[in-house]
C-alpha cells in the first residue's frame, strides 16, 4: 500500500495537461486530489474521471478567490503549483500589461497558493510543495522574456523557501520540463505557423529539436516526477530544480 494514502493534494490548473496528469498519478497513490482553476466546468469533468477527486473554482490572481478556495478545501498535505500561462512576442513589443499578466499568474498566483497552505502544512508535520517551472527557468529564450523571467522567479522562490523551512518536515522543489505536449505548446505551434508561414509539422519540429531526444515531453513523465517528490522517501530532496528535458541543459 502506498505511504501517501489519505493525504490531500491541491493541483492548480488541474483540469488539463500537466495538472490533470499529476492528478491521475497522485490518485493512483491513494491521495485525495483537489483540482483548482478558473474553468469549473472543465475541472468538474476532469474530477469525474478520477477515483477520489473534487473540483474547486479558483482564480490564483485574486486574493479572495484563493482564500475561499483553500478554506473550502481544508488542510493540504501536498501543493502542486501548476497554473501558468505563456505568450510569445518580441521584447520591444511587450507591453507592461502583457508583462504583468504573466507574472500575476506564474509568480504571484504561486505565492498566494503557497502562503495559503504553509500554516496547516507546518502544523501537520508533513508538507510537499512542488512548483511546475520550466527549463526556461534555468536558461534564456528569445521572444518569451516575460515567461522566462517568471519561471526564473519560480526557481528562485523554490530555493529560498527550501532554505527557510529546512528545519521542518516541509520540502519545496521545482520541476522544469522542456516543451510538453499540452495546449500551451499547441498555442506555440499555432503562433509559429501564423508568424512564419511554416506548416504544423515544421513548427512542431522547431520545438522538438530543443530536446536532444527529438521529441516533446509527455505530461505523464512530469507527473511521475511529481509523484516521487510527494513521497516521504524524497524527504531529503528540497530546493531542487529537476529538469525533464531529454538531456537539454
| Rounded Cα distance, 109 and 170, in Å | 20
Provide the H-helix boundaries in the chain: 17-28, 40-47, 63-73, 96-103, 110-124, 145-164, 183-196, 200-208, 219-230
Q: Which residues are catalytic?
A: 147
The structure's pTM equals 0.93
End-to-end alpha-carbon separation of the chain, Å?
Answer: 36
- Domains in the chain, please, with CATH? 8-178+218-236 (3.40.50.720), 180-216 (no CATH)
The tens-digit pLDDT sequence of the chain (249 residues) is 588 999 999 999 999 999 999 999 999 999 999 999 999 999 999 999 999 999 999 999 999 999 999 999 999 999 999 999 998 889 999 999 999 999 999 999 999 999 999 999 999 889 999 999 999 999 998 999 999 999 999 999 999 999 999 999 999 999 999 888 877 777 777 877 887 888 887 877 777 778 888 888 899 999 999 999 999 999 999 999 999 989 887
| Rounded Cα distance, 93 and 235, in Å | 44
In this structure, the number of other CB atoms found within 10 A of the CB of residue 169 comes to 14
Contact call for residues 26 and 227 (beta carbons, < 8 A): yes
Amino acid at each position: 500500500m502506498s505511504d501517501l494514502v489519505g493525504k490531500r493534494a491541491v493541483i492548480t490548473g488541474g483540469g488539463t495537461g500537466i495538472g490533470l496528469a499529476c492528478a491521475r498519478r497522485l490518485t493512483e497513490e491513494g491521495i485525495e486530489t483537489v483540482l483548482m482553476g478558473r474553468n469549473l466546468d472543465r475541472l468538474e469533468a476532469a474530477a469525474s474521471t478520477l477515483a477520489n477527486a473534487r473540483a474547486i473554482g479558483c482564480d490564483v490572481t485574486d486574493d479572495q478567490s484563493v482564500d475561499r478556495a483553500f478554506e473550502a478545501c481544508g488542510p493540504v498535505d501536498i501543493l502542486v503549483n501548476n497554473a501558468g500561462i505563456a505568450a510569445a512576442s518580441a521584447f520591444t513589443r511587450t507591453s507592461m500589461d502583457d508583462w504583468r499578466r504573466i507574472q500575476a499568474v506564474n509568480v504571484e498566483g504561486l505565492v498566494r497558493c503557497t502562503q495559503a497552505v504553509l500554516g496547516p502544512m507546518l502544523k501537520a508535520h508533513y508538507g510537499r510543495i512542488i512548483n511546475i517551472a520550466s527549463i526556461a527557468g534555468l536558461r534564456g529564450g528569445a521572444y518569451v522574456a516575460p515567461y522566462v523571467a517568471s519561471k526564473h522567479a519560480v526557481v528562485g522562490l523554490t530555493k529560498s523557501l527550501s532554505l527557510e523551512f529546512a528545519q521542518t518536515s516541509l520540502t519545496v522543489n521545482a520541476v522544469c520540463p522542456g516543451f510538453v505536449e499540452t495546449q500551451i505548446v499547441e498555442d506555440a505551434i499555432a503562433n509559429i505557423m501564423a508568424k512564419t508561414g511554416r506548416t504544423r509539422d515544421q513548427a512542431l519540429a522547431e520545438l522538438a529539436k530543443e530536446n536532444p531526444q527529438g521529441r516533446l515531453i509527455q505530461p505523464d513523465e512530469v507527473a511521475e516526477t511529481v509523484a516521487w517528490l510527494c513521497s516521504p522517501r524524497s524527504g531529503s530532496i528540497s530546493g531542487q530544480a529537476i529538469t525533464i528535458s531529454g538531456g537539454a541543459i
